[in-house]
Structure 1
Amino acid sequence: MPSDPNLLKSLAFKFTTKKHKSKLKKHTKARKSKGNTPNTNPDTLTSGSDRTEEPLEGISSNHIRTASPDKVLEPPIDPTLDLLLPTVHEHTIALAPECPSHGETENSSKMCSFCDEILPIHPSARFIKLNQYLTGLREARPRFSTHNPNALHLPFPRVADHCRLHRAEQDLIPIGLQRGWPMTIDFAGLASRVASHQSYLRQIVLQEIPSVHFDLALENWNSLGPRKVQSMAHEMSTFHVEQPGYYGVQGFRVIMQTLHWIFKSPGIPLHNAMSNEYVMRKVLVAEVAKCLIAEDLGLSITDPKLQEHLEDSRVFGSVLFP
């Protein structure tokens, strides 16, 4: 049944005729051939424009490349650092003021690229390596700063340890230099130095030479019992005793390996009550550290200053020689 034109007009319907369809196709082809594209200049967008950017899809962390792929990110710093060093207690990174203070003439090359704070004059090798790695990442984007042309941005979790490390070094390194603590240690020759003190260490074990570390270890063993004194909870509360001063974690590894070599007969107890491992960790590590520090600083093994150097330099060692 044919459509009534008057009825279609009254209903506002309009059907395209064949003639009109052919003209519409020609018009569409002409627009495509001209290659006209919408104007995407941001300057021409009005304030009412609803312009959104589509998120990136299909990108995984496995496809991220860095400028230095052969470098490996350093492990995080000892989580107890904030507790051991009161001056290093920040858990967030606050940007420095946009404008330097009156009379400030700091060199931008001495400023951290991520937090704009002043870097140590003598940074550790660990910090230098970590800084080179982070600043070489392709993800590190330039960040606007009026007084730091080297300013970069990375997500906070990526730079947290980096900035905590240079803040700690800013406080610790001047103290270490003032007190004569070494900035570099020959760990390759450390085992032979430790082994040279085995006669002294045997005298400690036999209680022929007094030792505050031996007395404290034995007191804890007798009062708490073998199981509790070697439990994880007690280990955490007395972990500082096993830190060999400024020799740090690297020094601890070498010292323990050498002690196991010196006292390599596990069937022969070092003490009739305490276990060999407990004696090594809670007594002999500290005694070895005192011997090494005495050699470094030219002090007598009986000098009371040795114990002060041992205790005061533990954080220094954990930062510089992790």
Structure 2
Amino acid sequence: TVIEQYEFCRVHRKEEIIISYKIEKGYPLHIDFTILPNWIKSLKDELLKIIKGQQYSEYHVDAPGYYGTKGLAIILKTLTEMFVQSKILTTNLCIPQLLSQYLAQVLVPKTAIRLIAEDFNNIFLDMAKKIIID
């Protein structure tokens, strides 16, 4: 139908715009989500420093940048397995936040920033933070 054809063209055009934007910004065009959990696990020691208060965390970005909603789901699942299910991260360590808030507002952004920094050959974290906000 005409409506289906229009919708197909609209979606295709939107994809072209997104791809052009990613190319312009130098973002990866393809993300291998299958390796993301192990990559996140490699950040465990650094994230433990944040949990234990040994490293200051000031980021308040709730989204993982170009990793999108699929990346957010994988990051949250992996962090939950690493820290919540293992009882490393407890409610007491998160006060005054709820555990879920701490994951979403502290650990997810910190993880995403480090993943993005590595995507860009270990750029400075401040530069990765700008990318995530973009």
Give the aligned CA root-mean-square deviation in angstroms.
2.2
Q: Does the Cα contact within 8 Å between 1:266 and 1:276 map onto a contact in 2?
A: no
- Asked if 1:299 is matched to 2:119, the reply is no
- Give 2:19's aligned residue: 173
Report the secondary structure of 1:242's partner residue. coil
Counterpart in the other structure of 1:247: 67
Q: Please state how far the C-alpha of 1:159 moved relative to its aligned partner.
A: 5.0
- In the alignment, the residues of structure 2 paired with residue 298 and residue 254 of structure 1 have an alpha-carbon distance, to the nearest angstrom, of 22
| Structure 2 gaps, min length 5 | none
The answer on whether the counterparts of 1:191 and 1:254 sit within 8 Å (CA) in structure 2 is yes
Q: Percentage identity across aligned positions?
A: 29
Q: Letter of the 2:106 partner, please give it.
A: V
Residue 268 (str. 1) matches residue 114 (str. 2): no
Change (3 A) 1:173 1:291: same
Instruction: Determine the structure 2 residue equivalent to 1:290.
Output: 113
- Rounded to whole Å, the distance in 2 between the matches of 1:167 and 1:249 is 21
Shift of residue 177, structure 1, vs aligned partner: 1.4
CA contact (8 A) 1:203 1:209 kept: yes
Structure 1 unaligned blocks of 5 or more: 1-153, 217-240, 313-322
Letter paired with 2:69: V
Query: For 1:186 and 1:299, how far apart are their aligned partners in 2?
Result: 18
Kindly provide the CA deviation profile for residues 230-264 of structure 1, in whole angstroms up to 9, marking residues without a partner as x. Answer: xxxxxxxxxxx432111112111111110111111
SS in 1 for 2:29: coil
Q: Secondary structure at the match of 2:109?
A: helix
Q: Larger helix proportion, structure 1 or 2? A: 2
For the residues of structure 2 that align with 1:167 and 1:212, how far apart are their CA atoms?
A: 37
DSSP 3-state at the match of 1:211: coil
Letter in 2 for 1:268: T
Alignment of 1:1-322 (within 5 A): 154-156=1-3, 158=4, 161-213=7-59, 216=60, 241-263=61-83, 264=85, 265=87, 268-269=90-91, 270-300=93-123, 302-312=124-134
Whose RCO is larger (CA < 8 A, sep 6+)? 2
1:160 is displaced (CA, Å) by 5.8
1:181 Cα deviation (Å)? 1.1
What amino acid sits opposite 1:262 in the alignment? Answer: M
Q: How far 1:201 sits from its partner (Å)?
A: 1.2
Q: For 2:40 and 2:17, how far apart are their aligned partners in 1?
A: 30
CA contact (8 A) 2:43 2:111 kept: yes
Distance 2:77 2:39 in 1: 13
For these two proteins, the number of residue pairs brought into alignment is: 131
Tell me which amino acid in the other structure corresponds to 1:295. E
For residue 55 of structure 2, give the secondary structure of its aligned residue in structure 1: coil
Query: Per the alignment, do residues 161 and 284 of structure 1 end up closer, same or farther by CA in structure 2, a change over 3 Å counting?
Result: farther
Change (3 A) 1:192 1:309: same
Shift, 1:211, TM fit: 2.2
